[in-house]
Amino acid sequence: MKARLKKVCKTCTESSLQTYYYNIKALAKIAGHDEPPNHGRWINAALLKKIKRTLTLMKFKNMTIAGNKALAAYDKKNEEWAKAMMESTAAYNKERDTQKRTKRETENWPKEGYKAMAKLAKALHSEVEHLYDRAPAKVTMPQLWQMMRHVILFYSKHALRGDLADVQTRRLQLH
């Protein structure tokens, strides 16, 4: 299956190919196979119905993508699977656009919310503030990692609004 995927997905990165392969294997297991078969007949309407009934939206979306990638590897097409992939992707995107936290995100979110994030960003800033005075060449990789943690948490308080920002970290000289 890996070789077939590589043949049809010439521009895919190695990590993308690996992800597709693992998802195709997972889909094959749901269909009752230990490994993806050497034919595309197993990717059928019954399997699509089964995964739609049993999986969460995100997992269903991933499995429809896997099914379509496997079909492409078998040099086959299935309009029902293609439609399911497009519809599940649109539904997933619509759900994510609501910006509601997932169960996992909710469980991991600090009790004090953004207030806790701001407090942590301030604490991290005090740990790395002295590093900003050094020339870039004099900052070690572990120190750079600490600085990056601060910048990431800084943006939890100062959110970007749909565009990328240029960030310049320097001391202001007041005259």
Q: Contacts for 43-47 with beta carbons within 8 Å, 24 or more apart?
A: 43/67, 43/70, 43/71, 43/74, 43/76, 43/78, 43/81, 44/78, 45/80
Based on the fold, state whether residues 85 and 125 are members of the same structural domain: no
Based on the fold, state whether residues 48 and 77 are members of the same structural domain: yes
Based on the fold, state whether residues 60 and 131 are members of the same structural domain: no
Based on the fold, state whether residues 141 and 66 are members of the same structural domain: no
Determine, yes or no, domain membership for 163: no
Model confidence at 169, pLDDT cuts 50, 70, 90, reads low
CA dihedral (157, 162, 166, 168) in degrees, to 10, reads: 0
Based on the fold, state whether residues 20 and 88 are members of the same structural domain: yes
Determine, yes or no, domain membership for 151: yes
Of residues 174 and 93, which shows the higher confidence score?
93
- The whole-number pLDDT of residue 159 equals 61
What are 147's two structure tokens? Answer: 């600085």
pTM of the model: 0.66
> For all residues of the chain together, what is the average pLDDT?
87
Q: How many domains does the chain have?
A: 2
Determine, yes or no, domain membership for 168: no
Q: What range defines the domain where residue 152 resides?
A: 110-157
- The whole-number pLDDT of residue 54 equals 96
Model confidence at 132, pLDDT cuts 50, 70, 90, reads confident
Determine, yes or no, domain membership for 65: yes
Between the alpha carbon of residue 153 and those of residues 115, 143, 146, 157, 159, the distances in Å are 11, 16, 11, 7, 10
Based on the fold, state whether residues 12 and 71 are members of the same structural domain: yes
- The whole-number pLDDT of residue 32 equals 96
> pLDDT, tens digit, for every residue of 71-116?
999 999 999 999 999 999 999 999 989 988 888 888 988 888 888 8
Determine, yes or no, domain membership for 88: yes
- The whole-number pLDDT of residue 163 equals 56
- The whole-number pLDDT of residue 175 equals 43
Domain boundary among 50, 71, 97: 97
Based on the fold, state whether residues 142 and 75 are members of the same structural domain: no
What are 134's two structure tokens? Answer: 């050094």
Based on the fold, state whether residues 32 and 115 are members of the same structural domain: no
Reply yes or no on whether the pLDDT at 38 is more than 60.
yes
